[in-house]
Copies of this chain bind each other. A is one copy, B any other.
Amino acid sequence: MYQGNTGVTAEVTAPDTKPGCEQAHNEDPACTVRQVLDRVGGKWSIGILVEASNGPVRFTELERSLDGISRRMLTLTLRNLERDGLLVRTVYPTVPPKVEYAATPMARELYDSLTALTSWADRHRDDIAVARADYDRAHSN
């Protein structure tokens, strides 16, 4: 029985004990996918992962790369990615402070896995556009 996701990235840091498909070993493929999506489904997670995959990046660097992100969300998303072991945070005790975020091997693997999705999206971009146009035309009356 599929039970949906858990509520995406929690504000404070999700208590990972909620009813549903987040037990350690659930065979349902849908649940497994949802676990990944819950982890990187946030608005900025993927973008950060991509930036950090090209080598360590600094806070302000990310702030400039991710157009429109707020300081709040940048911090929050970084913390969650770090917590899940996808990023490593390194503080250089200099003045002014310097902090670098680096993607872990696990994160790079994840990024590679995501290429299957980019491939799908590339192949069906136009199909989807057509489908939407058809649907909207058929339902506009």
Contact = CB atoms under 8 A, between A and B. Distances in A.
A16 interface: yes
Contacts of A125: 24-25, 35
B4 A47 contact: yes
A2 B110 contact: no
Chain A interface category by residue count: 35 or more
A66 B31 CA distance: 11
Contacts of A5: 43
Interface in A30-60: 30, 32-37, 39, 41, 43-44, 46-47, 49-51
10 contacts: A3-B68, A4-B67, A29-B114, A36-B120, A39-B128, A83-B132, A84-B128, A85-B127, A85-B131, A110-B124
A-B complex: 5 closest residue pairs judged by Cβ atoms: A85-B131, A2-B47, A116-B116, A113-B116, A32-B118
